[in-house]
Amino acid sequence: MNDIEQIRAMIGEHDPARDVRATGAQGILDEVTRAAAPPARRRRRRLAFALPATAALAASLVAVSAIGWPSTPMGPRPAQALSLHRTGGSIEVRIIDPDADPARYRREFAAAGLDVDLRMLPASPGLVGRMASYSAPGTRVPPPIKVLDADRACGDTWCPSGVSLPKGLRQRIELTFGRPARPGEGYVLTGSAGSGKGYSITGDPKAPHEPLAGLTLRDRTVADVRRDLAARRFPVGRYLAAPPEPRPAQWSYDEHVLKPADVSGTWYVTDAWLGRTKGTVELAVAPTKR
């Protein structure tokens, strides 16, 4: 066994990350030593020079040090995807990295002894990292789950920052949080806002960080709102009929979509949400002010 093979075996044996990620120290050393040997056939563009074996080894150790290993002095721990804060008899769950690999969430929940099915759905900017729903399916008696920080940071939209779960909880919990929408991806809706058919991850368009922050929409005429939206190049995606007064127990806006031509400029806006398509707004309207 030559020096390179001995060092490869030593690093592979002591690489604590070898079982949790594909690119550990062994992979780095393999890649560098492959670059040091002349390839039989060039399949991709490489650097115009080859490193001597000793230089390749030094480069590999520098690379490993830069990446770092968990729980070792060789570098910082990988950034956490979750905040799992233990306080009293509870664990407070918040999202730190709303765009992390789902496998990271699973590992961190499992390390805390929690059985959590976490869904990250594309959300409007003000709701990224915010909780949309929680449930404990298949349980007759729901566990004592508490919502955290249901503040007004998202305007008129309910947007808790997380949830508090009891320590030692053995029941399976389903959580849904918002993540950034990717290019070409719309905001996810299951049922329309206020339909009672599920949750929606659409923000209050007037809330901080949202496209129409600071703009008043409610209790204004449709004509006035249209003018302000046009100035911001923000079209109306759908007009929805506002529920009558007194409001029925069940009202689905999806079942009361209005044609734009049927909506008079003298009508009033009673509510507003960011649309299903990015860059649009949905307006609930009525012939009179509510």
Q: Which pLDDT score is estimated for 194?
A: 36
Burial class (CB in 10 A: 0-12, 13-18, 19+), 148: middle
Q: Which pLDDT score is estimated for 97?
A: 94
Which contacts qualify for 244-247: CB closer than 8 Å, 24 or more apart?
245/290
Query: Can you tell me whether residue 166 is helix, strand or coil?
Result: strand
Bridge partners of 10? none
The C-alpha atoms of residue 76 and residue 1 are separated, in whole angstroms, by 33
First-to-last alpha carbon distance for the chain, in angstroms, is: 84
The C-alpha atoms of residue 217 and residue 270 are separated, in whole angstroms, by 8
Instruction: Record the tokens describing residue 108, joined without a space.
Output: 């961190």
Q: What is the mean pLDDT of each run of 10 residues along the chain (290 residues)?
A: 53 47 44 45 33 35 32 54 92 94 92 92 83 85 83 68 90 91 73 38 65 85 96 93 90 92 97 81 93
Domain coordinates of the chain in residue numbers? 3-67, 82-180, 186-290
pLDDT digits (tens, 9 = 90+) for 87-146: 989 999 999 999 999 999 999 999 999 999 999 988 877 788 888 888 888 888 878 889
From residue 221, how far is each of 94, 137, 169, 272 by CA, in Å?
40, 44, 51, 13
Collect all residues with Cβ–Cβ distance below 8 Å to 96 and sequence separation of at least 6.
79, 80, 81, 82, 83
Element housing 177 (H / E): strand 173-180
Evaluate whether 212 touches 257 at the Cβ level (below 8 Å).
no
Q: Which pLDDT score is estimated for 275?
A: 80
Instruction: Record the tokens describing residue 87, joined without a space.
Output: 């306080």
Q: Which pLDDT score is estimated for 3?
A: 53
From residue 40, how far is each of 29, 34, 35, 37, 43 by CA, in Å?
19, 11, 12, 9, 10
Q: Which pLDDT score is estimated for 188?
A: 75
The C-alpha atoms of residue 180 and residue 185 are separated, in whole angstroms, by 9
From residue 98, how far is each of 13, 84, 102, 130 by CA, in Å?
34, 14, 10, 9
Burial class (CB in 10 A: 0-12, 13-18, 19+), 252: middle
Q: Which pLDDT score is estimated for 270?
A: 94
Evaluate whether 285 touches 238 at the Cβ level (below 8 Å).
no
Collect all residues with Cβ–Cβ distance below 8 Å to 5 and sequence separation of at least 6.
none
